[in-house]
Chains A and B, each alone.
Chain A
């Protein structure tokens, strides 16, 4: 069932990429939205929508990182840090930890603001750095943040984290134990993230990012404030992650430092690369695919294979291997990602010509 939903969503995304007619695109988006909103009444269960809600949070994260990496060209390998900051905002302010029980809806915005602030704080001193150096500083930041949460036991519950977080309410109605509210909020979050991403890409700021990504020196000469534009990318990208963190923490009702390690940052970067960096629809496809592989296919692969082929093989030892092979395979055979954006395709095309010339 998870696969049905995921496949429908992915097929819709591919269709959107293939059609160039604006009307057709709008129709597909609307049909998909209605389907995702209505279908749960007829088809699926809590387990399915739990995974889909998680997947939707990752789509939001990937869209946020796409602004930093895909739009502005800044490789960020510590993006999970902002996810952690968002999650801990909810964990510390909506739990028995300090006896504060701030409302979920307020914390969504607070976490976005805090994450954006930390994004800017990290960005400000580091943005003079280029390419891989920036990547390494962000990686370092990504390693430090969860360890600080782990070590400040008094405030963060240390390695145990904070459990039994508040259950959000909506106009006085508690979400209870149902996953559906999270599913719908996350869908809404994706819609908002898509809208914002598209706005940004087409905007003055988006063009500035494109210029910085393509040729920073030429961008400077066009009067673009490099530092401010990069900071904006970091802050906006981080804020998506902060919101994702609140959703994540509220749904799981738990935060602990081991949830935000390097693996998470790599996972999200992989989503971008798999889907096609910079291309919004591609990013959605990439993140859906990887989440489904990670949280549905791999954990259940034994049962699935056994049921299909009537075997009793043990594949659980191979999860890492399968995941790694997917990454390598995609990179070797389709390095531009599954649905590359126009620019990226051109770049590769050009690289191919250069290789042929050489």
Chain B
């Protein structure tokens, strides 16, 4: 069974239809891409997946569990983590603290543990800190642990956000334009990072503008245009799909 399944999903804002009849499935262990011109509804789709918006039609399930009506936080518990197109880091906290917040769900200390600084709390904290350092190393930014997130270079912030999302050990990682604003060599590193994430067992679903990157990285791709799914397939199929070519080239931008 697939990890993420969408079937006939639609979303309207008033009279405007932002998404309609979107159906696709993401298999466990995949690197899956969503592309489409600006305003195609890609970010809206992510927002439906994390319950920032409610979808009006269709169904979405994660690991076989329907997410209709679930809160953002409950969906996070199902193993969905994400990054944001415009970074949303905890700017006035250290990089380490950012990642440790990401570990919230895998820690079990209660309010009373927190209040009384019990042995459990202390052990968990030490463990959480160790893991956070490890994650920072994994995404390739060790050395910035104590710096405030907002003072880090842009590329580093992008990686930090990925580290924070990974900290919850998600089954499904949603990356919202992870390559935006990166230079070619950073993009190159990003590709290997995403592969490493997948190899470590996390399924990746990403939105991206950079065609080269998507074609190079993703195993399957969905194309959205004006809120509708116009194609789905392997990179090669997408590249040759007439409606995709029309959407990207035919419309006089």
| Residues of chain A having any CB pair with chain B under 8 Å | 196, 199-200, 202-208, 210-211, 214-215, 217-226, 232, 236, 343-344, 346-347, 350
Contact = CB atoms under 8 A, between A and B. Distances in A.
A208 B104 contact: yes
A225 B117 contact: no
Interface stretch (B86-94, B204-212, B225-233): B86-94
24 contacts: A199-B114, A199-B115, A199-B117, A202-B125, A203-B117, A204-B109, A205-B114, A208-B104, A210-B93, A214-B93, A215-B88, A217-B72, A218-B88, A220-B71, A220-B72, A221-B81, A221-B82, A222-B76, A222-B164, A222-B168, A223-B77, A224-B101, A346-B151, A350-B150
Given A222-B104, A222-B105, A211 B113 contact: no
B73 A199 contact: no
B102 A222 contact: yes
Nearest to A201: B114
Given A199-B115, A204-B124, A215-B88, A223 B73 contact: yes
Contacts of A222: 76, 81, 101-102, 104-105, 164, 168
A347 B151 CA distance: 10
B158 to A, nearest CB: 14
B190 interface: no
B90 A236 contact: no
A350 B52 CA distance: 29
Interface in B126-180: 128, 148, 150-151, 164, 168
A218 B90 contact: yes
Nearest to B109: A204
Interface of B: 50, 52, 71-73, 76-77, 81-82, 84, 88-93, 97, 100-102, 104-105, 107, 109, 111, 113-117, 121, 124-125, 128, 148, 150-151, 164, 168
A207 B101 contact: yes
Contacts of B81: 221-222
Nearest to B164: A222
A13 B189 CA distance: 47
Nearest to A345: B92
A236 B148 CA distance: 28
A200 B168 contact: no
Given A219-B101, A222-B81, A346-B92, 17 more contacts: A204-B125, A205-B114, A210-B97, A210-B101, A215-B90, A217-B72, A218-B89, A220-B71, A221-B72, A221-B76, A222-B164, A222-B168, A226-B73, A236-B115, A343-B148, A346-B91, A350-B91
**Majority SS of interface residues in chain B?**
helix
Contacts of B164: 222
Contacts of B168: 222-223
A183 to B, nearest CB: 26
**Majority SS of interface residues in chain A?**
helix
A215 B83 CA distance: 13
B146 to A, nearest CB: 10
A221 B82 CA distance: 7
A214 B90 contact: yes
Contact of A344 (B76, B92, B109, B115): B92
Contacts of B82: 221
Nearest to A347: B92
A354 to B, nearest CB: 11
Contacts of A220: 71-73, 76
B161 to A, nearest CB: 9
Contacts of B91: 214, 346-347, 350
Contacts of B116: 199
Contacts of A203: 109, 113-115, 117, 121, 125
Nearest to B94: A342
Q: Which 8 A-B pairs have the closest CB atoms?
A: A203-B114, A223-B76, A214-B90, A223-B105, A343-B92, A205-B114, A199-B117, A218-B88
B134 to A, nearest CB: 18
Contacts of A347: 91-92
Contact of B73 (A196, A214, A224, A344): A224
A226 B113 CA distance: 18
A206 B125 CA distance: 12
A112 B104 CA distance: 28
